[in-house]
Chains A and B, each alone.
Chain A
Amino acid sequence: MIVKHLSPVTGLPHADPSNSAVTHAASKSMSTTTQKTPRRGNGGWLQVRKPLSRKKSLWLAQGAFLLPLLLWCAISYVPFLWHPMITVQNPGSVDYFQPGMQVDRAEFKEQNQKQIDHGGLPATGTRENPVYLPAPHRVAKALVTAFLTPPIRDGEPWLHESLGHSIRIIFLGFLFSAVLGIPLGLLCGTFALVSKLGEPFVDFVRYMPAPAFGALSVAILGIDDAPKVAIIFVGTFFQMVLVLANTTRSLPIPLLEAAQTLGAGRRQLLMNVVVPGVLPMLYRDMRILLGWAWTYLIVAELIGASSGISFFIYQQAKYRNYDNVYAAIILIGLIGLGTDLILKGLGRVFFPWEKDKG
């Protein structure tokens, strides 16, 4: 009787609409026979959780940088897209206009209308973007000239000196945090005793924003580099302990059990299983945390005696040299991306067994 409904001879679904289960099953089996031929190549660009080919990945990585750049170019070089300001060339009869002055387009129009109504001379000018959005070519030029321009006042650092100073602060702050944070994180992740004793307090301090310690660290450590290093330390250390503790806890227990049945004692478990077992993941965590250090740098450099790349940005913004500001921000990005790529490459050398995991 059941056979009648699922007749393989006709292969057709039963006509009775109430018999939806059978209809569904039959139509499913039919659709497999009329399957579309798969697309050529290794499948399209949009596939759920499938990796793209190397060539496609490279294209997209370039696109990731090219797209924002193209957008920036379009806004900068195509006048009718945005350009909300007008730079006055000839002020005409408007009293307060000066040549080279930037005015809002609406304001410019209103003033000119007034002059036309009263028989005065209308001002002329060209549409431009506001000063805070310099065109790409100006920023590109600034990337070079910023290094070649001597500091405005004597005794102030050149840009490369500022950058060097920033990198030194980050390096020292991150080094201190790593020297204390890595062992503590490993111990927290390994021994419940250390975890219960240490983590609640670390978790508590973690919620306090590092800049809140700015005034305090200046009072304690003076106005030079020490309080800046301290801010980087506070900003990264507490996060580091918690992140590394969790990473350490992700080591599969069976590995530890296997080591115990091979005769490993407590100390050996820690040094010969836990440490090498979590090292690659730990290294990955540290790469992410290094990015955070740059975030705290901006605050750190503005406390006490301002210095470094943030001071440069701050000062250039004050002088309205926005092309230099963008150049400096891009520099930070390039340094960050560069170090991360180098560290990623080194990771492949340090942990050859991770090769297949990418």
Chain B
Amino acid sequence: MEEALVLPDYLDLSPELRKRFESIAARETILEVSHLRKEFPGMENRPPILGDISFEVKRREFICVIGASGCGKSTMLRMLGGLEPCTAGEVRVSGKSVHGPGADRGMVFQEYTLFPWLTVKKNVMFGPRMAGQGRDSSEAEALQWLEMVGLADRVDAYPNQLSGGMKQRVAIARALANYPDILLMDEPFGALDAQTRSQMQRHLLQIWRNVDVTILFVTHDLDEAIFLADRIVVLGAHPGRILEIIQVPVDRPRSQAQALSPHFLAVKKRLEQLIHPEDPDAVKSLPMIRMARVGTEAEP
């Protein structure tokens, strides 16, 4: 538990950042994952999808989870969301053990999950309405969140009239309207084009600064993870396990320009090492790709 918060020794933190991380560490724990394990039935003799995962997330922390494909990062997020049962281990949110999905853990998915039959406003009202709030108060709530994500002028549009980026902004507003303890995001910008994607990243940081919410963000994009996170949880595959938890030594508020700072690049290099370890044997064993006909005939 404690070693997860030890600073990696290959990076130096600025004094402000050190202070920030100390203050974060002193906050209450929102999410507590202990010895989480996942096996799919009928595959017991293979390595489990997730081996033995334990970590903690503090209040208002921004955590990114990164890993090569197949390391079980999405499965882990779904388990935290209660959409997938755990084989062993426990997930606690604000001290309460998680059994099944609930409004205290908002989720934003990679695929668009807005309800097509509801207008933007009514999509955001969905959570408060489910919780038994009246029509007027949920509407006021929805309008406030839509203003925050910059969609106050599209409240009466249907989801299929929105662009991909707008849809995900509505999805974020919809999740936040429940005042969740933690927001679980599963590659939410994965389907967006590069430009919209970086716009959405900045937008998400802005929202996060203004709202008391903890975010756990799954991605496979290294730059995205470093740009967003306080800490990055790096997962390895077969079995899925935590390789390292990296504190990102980049000052806040973040800007695109920092992507070239030595700290940013150092983290990126470390992530590359962890996720794509250089294995000379593996490279050699790759079959040589050549244009058989052209190549052979070209030989004199």
A→B interface (CB under 8 Å):
1-2, 4-6, 16, 18-19, 21-22, 252, 254-255, 257-265, 268, 272-273, 276-277, 279-280, 351-353, 356
Contacts and interface: CB of A to CB of B under 8 A. Distances in A.
Given A21-B293, A21-B294, A254-B111, A261 B117 contact: no
Given A261-B105, A262-B106, A2 B178 contact: no
A167 B116 CA distance: 35
B31 interface: no
A258 B130 contact: no
Nearest to B78: A257
**Size bracket, chain B contacts:** 35 or more
Contacts of B14: none
Contact of B298 (A4, A258, A268): A4
Contacts of A265: 130
Among A4, A19, A258, A272, the one with the most B-chain Cβ atoms within 10 Å of its Cβ is A258
Contacts of B126: 259, 262, 264, 272
A254 B113 contact: yes
Contacts of A351: 117
Contacts, number: 95
B297 A19 contact: yes
B158 interface: yes
B101 A257 contact: yes
Given A262-B103, A353-B160, A257 B113 contact: yes
Interface in B170-196: 171, 174-175, 178, 184
The 3 tightest CB contacts between A and B, nearest first, are: A263-B103, A1-B298, A258-B113
Given A262-B178, A263-B131, A257 B109 contact: yes
A258 B82 CA distance: 11
Among A18, A259, A261, A268, the one with the most B-chain Cβ atoms within 10 Å of its Cβ is A261
A18 B294 CA distance: 10
Contact of B107 (A258, A272, A352, A356): A258
Given A5-B298, A255-B113, A353-B158, A263 B102 contact: yes
Contacts of B48: none
Contacts of B107: 257-258, 261
Given A258-B109, A351-B117, A2 B102 contact: no
Interface in B131-188: 131, 158-161, 171, 174-175, 178, 184
Contacts of B118: 276
Contact of A19 (B103, B113, B161, B293): B293
Among A16, A263, A273, A276, the one with the most B-chain Cβ atoms within 10 Å of its Cβ is A263
